[in-house]
Amino acid sequence: MNNSNLNVLVEEKRSLLKHFAGKFTTDPDEKEDLIQETLIRALKSIDDFIKHPKLMSWLYVIMKNVYINQYRKAKRTSDIHETYIDLESYNTIEANKSENKFVSDDIEKAMCSLSEENYQIFRLFLEGYKYHEIASYFGMPEGTVKTRIHMTRKKLQKQLKVYRIL
């Protein structure tokens, strides 16, 4: 299939994809992002895209998964922000600014005690990346990434146990 035929196929399916996107969101920008991400993922498997007998069902599943992944990433980010907002409101009540500095320094010291690779893996996890995304970035098995994140969390919990809120 040449590029012009592929473009025609994509344009034919775009209106149906727009309809599908409307089931997930009403924001026009989010709809367009959802359509584009779906097409990008579908075109990564171009042979499936061209020859798939139930193309629209396949594209719908891709779109649904893209939406769910974006929702989960946004939820994790939101949870992290809420945690920090709660901490900020807690910190504004405190009169002792030097205590906050000690806490911040201890967290930074604990993070610096990690190996560079584990630090980068944990940082990506905190930013909301999925295990398989981190694994492919570092070229290692997903199970290794899960283990490293788990061990890093345990190590940080142990180092920062004095700040644990009961």
pLDDT at 106: 82
Q: Helices then strands (H, E): number in the chain?
A: 8, 0
pLDDT at 134: 92
| Residue ranges of the chain whose pLDDT lies below 70 | 1-7, 47-52, 81-99, 166
Structure tokens at 141: 């098995």
At a CB cut-off of 8 Å and minimum separation 6, what does 102 contact? Answer: none
pTM value surpassing 0.85: no
**What is the per-residue pLDDT for 3?**
59
Q: pLDDT value at position 79?
A: 72
